[in-house]
Amino acid sequence: MENASSATIQVHPSRPVSGSRARSGFWLVVLGAALWGVDPLFRLILLKSITSAQLVLLEHILIALVVAPTLWKNRQELKGIGWKHVGALLFISWGGSAIATILFTMGLSHGDANAVLLLQKLQPLFAIVMARFLLKESLPRRFALLFLIALAGTYLLTFGFSVPFGHWNDFIQVGSLLSLGAAALWGGSTVMGRMMVGQMKYETVTSLRFILALPLLLAVTWNEGAAWHLPTEASGMAAFSLNLLGQALLPGLLSLLVYYKGLTTTKASVATLAELSFPMVGVLVNWIAFQQMVTVAQAVGFILIWFSLFVISRQSQPAPA
């Protein structure tokens, strides 16, 4: 795991980013998003004991304890930030970390899980619109075509060559609406995160993401009023604790540290496409953990997604003199 107190790359509008740094940043975003692929493996097990809000609160408490020393060390960075950056931080922590995670967790337990996962691929659409208006970002060459190719690959990874639903009622349901809300908030958080990494270190942004979310999560959990059904046996509690720790640190903290490190040299509109590495890892997790073999359609989807990622990564190189 990368040391959260290590030196970081600071990006300013007037400072050009070299081709090697841009490419490495792009693939760090890919790696950070890929770590999210193991998230459902822990989350679905934990949902057997506690509610969605309780789970999100517990994982945020664990991560907050880990990142609090980093925030204290970098506290000088909080001086002088404007209201625009305060709003971005609140969007990242309350929207992207607290509310979006609750919505996604609830979506997994309501309705068609395939529909929930497919709708997450709408994140780039939300992020691209926000990046165009807020960050004035231009799009990579042939971005529309590459984006469609990546979405086609995502579809094949999720559904194969078959039609996933018989009519639209399979999508217009509680689970799908919850997933759509999570996609919008996570897509927006990508843009807000890109706005913040030019103002403070990526470790500080990651720390604030979890710590600022705690008051809102405490209020949501308190208002929910659900009982805490934690395991009573020693073996059950040990398994629960290990799953919770793995959930908080691997797809939670580590993925975001790597993600924000890469985001320092990667445009938000490009980062959202790099995040499509998530379904690829989801397929591998299903294969390893649940013995679900990779089909021909999934292999084709894998190739399509990584073709798009490779082409965009090559565009990060500086043009010849």
Per-residue model confidence as pLDDT tens digits over 59-92: 999 989 989 999 999 999 988 788 888 999 999 9
Kindly indicate the confidence band of residue 167, based on its pLDDT and cuts at 50, 70 and 90.
low
pLDDT of residue 73: 94
CA 195 to chain centre: 16
Domain count, the chain: 1
Instruction: Examine residue 55 and state whether it is found in any structural domain, yes or no.
Output: yes
Q: Is residue 229 part of a domain?
A: yes
Q: Which amino acid is at 12?
A: H
Is residue 240 within 8 Å of 47, Cβ to Cβ?
A: no
The two three-digit tokens of residue 171, written as one number? 């999508």
**Residue given tokens 């499509």 in the structure block:** 276
**Is 153 inside any structural domain?**
no
Residue 152 lies in a domain: no
Average pLDDT over all residues of the chain? 78
Residue 1 has a pLDDT of 30
pLDDT above 70 covers a percentage of the chain that reads: 80
Query: Does the residue 123 lie in any domain?
Result: yes
Q: Which domain range does residue 109 map to?
A: 23-137+166-266
Chain centroid to CA 175: how far? 18
Sign of CA dihedral 312, 92, 119, 130: negative
**Domain assignment present for 111:** yes
C-alpha–C-alpha distance, residues 93 and 95, integer Å: 6
User: Looking at the domain assignment, is residue 319 inside a domain?
Assistant: no
Quote the pLDDT of residue 187: 87
Contacts of 168 (CB under 8 A, 6+ apart): none
Whether residue 12 lies inside any domain: the answer is: no
